[in-house]
């Protein structure tokens, strides 16, 4: 931090005279230190690992960097490294096709759980064992954790704000860190404002050119030129990009992973930035380049506009282009989309995003699941899978410190899918003695027996077991966010996860279970993050019982980011009745398009795996939305959002033209 500012060159006295004050104020500068999300000098970065699972396998196997490698799941590929991409291999290929394109390709199958084994393993026959194996993503979860640790190590402990936004990506709010660096490098900023007036403008930066090193710089808007003197926002973002470059180098040196970075003034832009140049590069989007950068995009590529909301906006205005939407006035947007959504879309098209980077470190819940293709039809089969789920979850609980009684879950939940119906049962995990695998298994069996006793449950197409409501076993506290709420709100916050789980119970109720409806205007609104875009439609945000079917909303109870089940058969596909849109468009050539991101898949299975992945990711996003509560505006919209692009289950996909049922409240729950 104390190194001289080599990246800056001195400004000519003439230029300095020409513009004596910065356009930013002392107040703006101090807003950086408090992570003010409207601060015009804010610096946010997004870091995303290159071809993550593929790199994890390369590191594990110690293969050369130029060796083509892909990660296989059953017959499909779920990650492809860049040397393999050069052969035209992508996620849409089958393993066989990929080998044809590149005979030297290493196609490494993911690790799997298998009945009878008490741990996951890399097995040579896994690809042919879809009926007996379940994918384990533990190896990637562990690597993800190591990478996160390196990132945190390389940021000052008291000036870091890190949000794990997925298994291979983080957002960093670097504002306070950059603020500290600025004060150190430019002592003229450290003094009090003239006359103590915080609205006074800062002196201009004593430099005329910035050295961006190897960063990709996005071109500037028309009215700006590269020779315009830099202002403090440019300097701040440059310091941010130095920090990101150092973090990337540390990840590379310590763990041998490469990643891409995006540095900009908010999450929306930094995420677009990291995707701009891959692999192993970082892109800077200066404030003066935002308009130009965004104008070339389809808005459906933006965070939160990839799913249902984006689709609705593009249908309403008959375009997907940012450029077109820029011509639409705020008034028109509000008229067509409602006030909140209209304003949100208006701002988003202009690169304005005041959503917070939310540090989340503690796991809230864990999920282990499998979709059966073909379905299973006996208690014995189901019980065997329960064993595997329990082993999977218990291993993760051990990592969470359950043996040392550091943290433990309070509830266990079993979801069961038969045709278009989902049933679920939950129970409380008895406290007071140490939790072991047999206890968990016993509870899971009891839940399963309750479901089976209802009759008409076979065949079963999906089973998923989750534990949630984690508590710190020592203090029993509810987490820092509870303390930031007052009275009733905190109470609601504490009760809500349970209320929602109960609400999911469908089918004839177990006599002991009291159904509880969560009122949209009450508890749910505290589950909304400020950043959540307003959504469309009615205000019923609760997954609703539908004559024996649930809507498949799992509530915010799936382990996020680090979930074991971000793919294929290990993730529950949503209920047929829950889909609000057709996600699988079969084209004439037998190509299957993912309606959510446009990816082309060559087989229904590949599409299924891909969409299961979207689904798991959305569960994770829902968890994010569901767990952050401080100081947020009440907005019922995303209280329990339904994943936007969820694919109907296999049964539904055989009937592509079938209209999907839309339940009250669903419309507004669905956006990417």
Q: Which is nearer to Ca ion, 78 or 337 (CB)?
A: 78
Which one of 7, 175, 567, 580 is in contact with ligand TTP (CB under 6 A)? 567
Neighbours of 60 (CB within 10 A): 13
Residue identified by tokens 């008490």 is 118
Measured from the Cβ of residue 623, the count of other Cβ atoms closer than 10 Å reads 24
Q: Which stretch binds ligand TTP (CB under 6 A): 51-59, 213-221, 490-498, 544-552?
A: 51-59
In angstroms, the CA 306 to CA 578 distance is: 19
Instruction: Indicate which single residue of 39, 79, 294, 397 sits in contact with ligand TTP (rule: CB under 6 A).
Output: 79
Q: Using CA atoms, how far apart are residues 574 and 58, in angstroms rounded to an integer?
A: 33
**Closer CB to ligand TTP, 200 or 599, in the complex:** 599
CB 572 within 8 A of CB 369: yes
| SS3 label, residue 367 | strand
Q: Is the CB of 43 or the CB of 566 nearer to Ca ion?
A: 566
Kindly state the smallest distance separating residue 232's Cβ from ligand TTP, in Å. 32
Stretch that binds ligand TTP, among 50-58, 222-230, 367-375, 487-495 (CB under 6 A): 50-58
* Calpha distance 323→314 (Å, rounded): 12
Query: Binding of Ca ion at residue 133 (CB under 5 A)?
Result: no
Task: For residues 41 and 645, give the distance between their C-alpha atoms in angstroms, rounded to a whole number.
Answer: 35
Residues that contact ligand TTP, how many (by CB under 6 A): 17
371, two tokens: 């979709």
Binding mask 28-57 for Ca ion (x = CB under 5 A): --------------------xx--x-----
176 vs 607 by CB, closer to ligand TTP: 607
Residues 251-310 that bind ligand TTP (CB under 6 A): 278-279
* Residue 617 beta carbon to Ca ion: minimum distance, rounded to whole angstroms: 9
The least CB distance from residue 387 to ligand TTP, in Å, is: 25
Interacting positions 135-174 with Ca ion (CB under 5 A): 168-169
Using CB under 6 A as the binding rule, whether residue 53 contacts ligand TTP is answered as: yes
CB of 78 to ligand TTP, least distance (A): 4
Task: Specify the residue, 274 or 312, whose C-beta has the smaller distance to ligand TTP.
Answer: 274
DSSP string, 531-562: TSPP--S-S--S---BTTB------S-SPPSS
Name residues whose C-beta falls within 8 Å of residue 98's C-beta, 6 or more positions apart in sequence. 70, 77, 80, 84, 87, 89, 105, 107
With CB cut-offs between 5 and 8 Å by kind, which of Ca ion, ligand TTP, none does residue 78 bind? Answer: ligand TTP
Tell me the three state secondary structure of residue 614. helix
Between CA 501 and CA 427 the distance in angstroms is 10
Of the two residues 168 and 545, which places its CB atom closer to ligand TTP in the complex? 168
Out of 39, 70, 78, 239, which residue is the one contacting ligand TTP (CB under 6 A)?
A: 78
For Ca ion, the closer CB: 168 or 504: 168
- Binding segment toward ligand TTP, per CB under 6 A, in 47-55, 262-270, 529-537, 554-562: 47-55
Using CB under 6 A as the binding rule, whether residue 610 contacts ligand TTP is answered as yes
Q: Which of Ca ion, ligand TTP, none sits in contact with 92, Cβ below 5 to 8 A by type?
A: none
- Taking a C-beta distance cutoff of 8 angstroms, is the pair 284, 241 a contact? yes
CA 16, 20, 22, 27: dihedral to nearest 10 degrees? 140
140 to 169: interface string for ligand TTP, x by CB under 6 A: ---------------------------xx-
Pairwise CA distance, residues 479 & 497, whole Å:
14
Task: Write 340-346 long-range contacts (CB < 8 A, 24+).
Answer: 340/534, 340/635, 340/637, 341/309, 341/533, 341/534, 341/535, 341/536, 343/534, 344/533, 344/534, 345/313, 345/533
In the complex, least distance from residue 279 CB atom to Ca ion, rounded to whole angstroms = 9
- Closer by beta carbon to Ca ion, 76 or else 262: 262
Among 302, 389, 394, 613, the residue binding ligand TTP under the rule CB under 6 A is 613
**What number of other Cβ atoms are within 10 A of residue 507's Cβ?**
23
Structure tokens at 646: 């969820």
Helix extents (H) in 575-643: 604-627
CB of 127 to ligand TTP, least distance (A): 15
Q: Which is nearer to ligand TTP, 271 or 408 (CB)?
A: 271
**Cβ nearer to Ca ion, comparing 167 with 367:** 167
Compute the Cα dihedral for 633, 635, 640, 642 and give only its sign.
negative
Q: How far apart are CA 464 and CA 87, in angstroms?
A: 37
d(CA 32, CA 150): 24
Q: Which one of the spans 21-29, 44-52, 350-358, 468-476 is the region binding ligand TTP (CB under 6 A)?
A: 44-52
Q: Could you say which of Ca ion, ligand TTP, none residue 566 binds, taking C-beta under 5 to 8 angstroms by partner kind?
A: ligand TTP
Give the CA-trace dihedral at 165, 169, 171, 172, to 10 degrees.
130
* 69 lies in the site for ligand TTP, by CB under 6 A: no
Q: Which is nearer to ligand TTP, 53 or 470 (CB)?
A: 53
**Which residue lies nearer to ligand TTP by CB, 518 or 607?**
607
User: Buried b vs exposed e over 92-105: b needs ≥16 C-beta within 10 Å?
Assistant: bbbbeebeeebeeb
Tell me how many residues contact Ca ion (CB under 5 A). Answer: 5
CB of residue 541 to Ca ion, shortest distance in Å: 27
How far apart CA 228 and CA 224 sit, in angstroms, is: 7
| One of 52, 74, 372, 470 touching ligand TTP (CB under 6 A) | 52
Give min distance, CB of 487 to Ca ion, in A: 39
* Of 279 and 479, CB closest to ligand TTP: 279
Residue carrying structure tokens 């077109």: 324
Q: Which does 79 bind (CB under 5 to 8 A by kind): Ca ion, ligand TTP, none?
A: ligand TTP
Which residues lie near ligand TTP (CB under 6 A)?
48-53, 78-79, 91, 167-168, 278-279, 566-567, 610, 613
Residues that bind Ca ion (CB under 5 A): 48-49, 52, 168-169
């Amino acid at each position: 931090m104390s190194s001289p500012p080599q990246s800056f060159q001195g400004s000519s006295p003439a230029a300095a005279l020409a513009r004596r004050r910065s356009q930013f104020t002392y107040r703006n500068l101090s807003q950086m230190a408090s992570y003010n999300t409207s601060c015009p000098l804010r610096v946010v970065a997004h870091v995303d690992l290159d071809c993550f699972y593929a790199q994890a396998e390369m590191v594990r196997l110690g293969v050369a960097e130029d060796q083509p490698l892909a990660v296989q799941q059953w017959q499909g590929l779920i990650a492809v490294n860049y040397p393999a991409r050069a052969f035209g291999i992508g996620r849409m290929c089958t393993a066989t096709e990929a080998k044809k394109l590149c005979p030297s390709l290493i196609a490494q199958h993911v690790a799997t759980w298998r009945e009878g084994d008490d741990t996951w393993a890399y097995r040579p026959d896994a690809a042919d064992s879809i009926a007996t194996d379940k994918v384990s993503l533990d190896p990637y979860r562990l690597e993800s954790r190591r990478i996160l640790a390196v990132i945190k190590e390389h940021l000052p402990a008291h000036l870091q704000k890190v949000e794990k936004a997925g298994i291979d990506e983080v957002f960093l709010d670097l504002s306070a860190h950059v603020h500290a660096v600025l004060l150190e490098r430019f002592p003229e900023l450290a003094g009090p404002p003239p006359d103590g007036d915080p609205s006074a403008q800062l002196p201009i930066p004593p430099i005329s050119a910035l050295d961006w090193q190897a960063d990709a710089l996005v071109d500037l808007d028309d009215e700006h030129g590269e020779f315009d003197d830099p202002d403090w926002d440019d300097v701040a973002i440059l310091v941010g990009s130095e920090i990101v470059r150092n973090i990337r180098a540390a990840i590379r040196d310590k763990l041998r992973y490469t990643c891409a970075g995006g540095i900009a003034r908010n999450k929306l832009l930094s995420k677009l930035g990291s995707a701009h140049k891959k692999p192993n590069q970082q892109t800077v989007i200066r404030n003066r380049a935002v308009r130009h950068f965004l104008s070339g995009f389809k808005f459906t590529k933006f965070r939160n506009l990839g799913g249902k909301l984006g689709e609705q906006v593009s249908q309403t205005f008959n375009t997907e282009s940012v450029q077109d939407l820029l011509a639409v006035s705020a008034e028109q947007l509000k008229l067509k989309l409602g006030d909140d959504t209209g304003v949100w879309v208006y701002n988003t098209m202009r690169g304005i995003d005041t959503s917070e980077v939310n540090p989340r470190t503690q796991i809230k819940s864990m999920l282990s699941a499998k979709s059966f293709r073909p379905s299973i039809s006996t208690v014995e089969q189901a019980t065997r899978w329960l064993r595997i789920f329990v082993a999977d979850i218990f291993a993760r609980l051990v990592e969470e410190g359950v043996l040392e009684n550091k943290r433990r879950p309070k509830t266990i939940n079993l979801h069961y899918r038969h045709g278009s119906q989902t049933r679920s049962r939950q129970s409380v995990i008895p406290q007071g003695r140490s939790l072991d695998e047999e206890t968990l298994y016993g509870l899971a069996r009891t839940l399963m027996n309750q479901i089976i006793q209802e009759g008409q449950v076979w065949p079963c197409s999906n089973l998923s077991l989750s534990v949630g409501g984690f508590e710190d076993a020592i203090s029993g506290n509810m987490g820092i966010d509870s303390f930031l709420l007052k009275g009733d709100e905190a109470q609601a916050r504490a009760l809500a996860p349970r209320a929602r789980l109960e609400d999911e119970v469908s089918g004839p109720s177990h006599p002991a279970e009291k159904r509880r409806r969560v009122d949209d205007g009450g508890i749910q609104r505290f589950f909304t993050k400020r950043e959540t875009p307003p959504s469309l439609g009615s205000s019923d945000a609760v997954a609703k019982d539908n004559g024996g079917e649930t809507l498949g909303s799992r509530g915010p109870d799936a382990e996020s980011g680090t979930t074991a089940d971000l793919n294929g058969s290990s993730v529950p596909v949503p209920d047929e009745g829950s889909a609000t849109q057709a996600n699988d468009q079969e084209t004439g050539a037998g190509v299957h398009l993912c309606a959510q991101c446009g990816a082309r898949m060559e087989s229904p299975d590949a599409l299924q795996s891909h969409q299961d992945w979207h689904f798991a990711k959305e569960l994770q996003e829902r968890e994010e939305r569901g767990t952050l509560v401080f100081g947020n505006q009440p907005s019922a919209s995303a209280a329990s959002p339904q994943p936007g692009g969820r694919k109907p289950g296999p049964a539904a996909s055989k009937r592509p033209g079938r209209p999907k049922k839309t339940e009250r409240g669903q419309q507004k729950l669905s956006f990417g």
